[in-house]
Amino acid sequence: MIHDILIWPDPRLREVSQPVTAFDADLKKLADDMFETMYAAKGVGLAAPQIGILKRVVVIDTTSQDQDLTPQVLVNPVITLKEGSQIFKEGCLSVPDEAENVERAVKVAVRAFDLSGKEFTLETDGTLLAVALQHELEHLDGGLFVDHLSSLKRGLIKRRMVRLKEAKRREANSANKE
């Protein structure tokens, strides 16, 4: 099922997600829905809070950039290592049609659980996956890539997002009247 993606500055995007405690069919369904939603929006990553579900779940698929990787589901992920620095032009499904340079670590290690509750470690170096991991995990604690921008840029983007949300609301109201 494809979910609506929350658009910043929706206050739910600033909430801290809760750890997953049940590794069951509902969690598998959530991950499947998140992949379906992410692919429909043409993204490479999605965190559960972006669809209004405050669970510590992230899906990432960077296979378009690195064929050797596989799509990833990370449950209760924690970054255990960050090294180096790189600048990467990032966008976000919750901040549509915007992209800005953001400084992130080059090397990242993450400890997480899979859908069956088995713990694993994922380590990557200088790839889109490294950026995506940092970007998506930030969502779990109420962060967004715009937090790394100057207040001026953040304010300009916020105004555009408010206008976009208003246009979508008018469009939905118009469609409901027909």
Please give the CATH number for the structural domain made up of 11-177.
3.90.45.10
Tens digit of each residue's pLDDT (9 = 90 or more) over 59-116: 999 988 777 788 999 999 999 999 999 999 999 999 999 999 999 999 999 999 999 9
CB 132 within 8 Å of CB 125: no
Tens digit of each residue's pLDDT (9 = 90 or more) over 5-36: 999 999 999 999 999 999 999 999 999 999 99
Which residues, including other chains, have CB under 8 Å from residue 31's CB and lie 6 or more apart? 57, 59, 73, 115
pLDDT at 127: 84
The span from the CA of 85 to the CA of 105, in Å, is 4
The span from the CA of 159 to the CA of 122, in Å, is 37
- When pLDDT is averaged across residues 129-157 and rounded to a whole number, the result is 97
Task: Give catalytic status of residue 171 as yes or no.
Answer: no
> What does the angle CA 21 – CA 52 – CA 60 come to, to the nearest 5 degrees?
70
Tens digit of each residue's pLDDT (9 = 90 or more) over 135-147: 999 999 999 999 9
Q: State both tokens at 77.
A: 């992920």
Q: Which residue is catalytic, options 36, 136, 166, 178? A: 136
Distance of CA 156 to the CA centre of its chain: 21
The span from the CA of 119 to the CA of 130, in Å, is 19
pLDDT at 64: 82
The pTM assigned to this predicted structure is 0.93
Domain spans of the chain?
11-177
Question: With helix as H, strand as E and coil as C, how does the chain read?
Answer: CCCCCCCCCCHHHHCCCECCCCCCHHHHHHHHHHHHHHHHCCCCEEEHHHHCCCECEEEECCCCCCCCCCCEEEEEEEEEEEECCEEEEEEECCEEEEEEEEEECCEEEEEEECCCCCEEEEEEECCHHHHHHHHHHHHHCCCCHHHHCCHHHHHHHHHHHHHHHHHHHHHHHHHHHC
Asked whether the predicted pLDDT for residue 178 surpasses 90, the reply is no
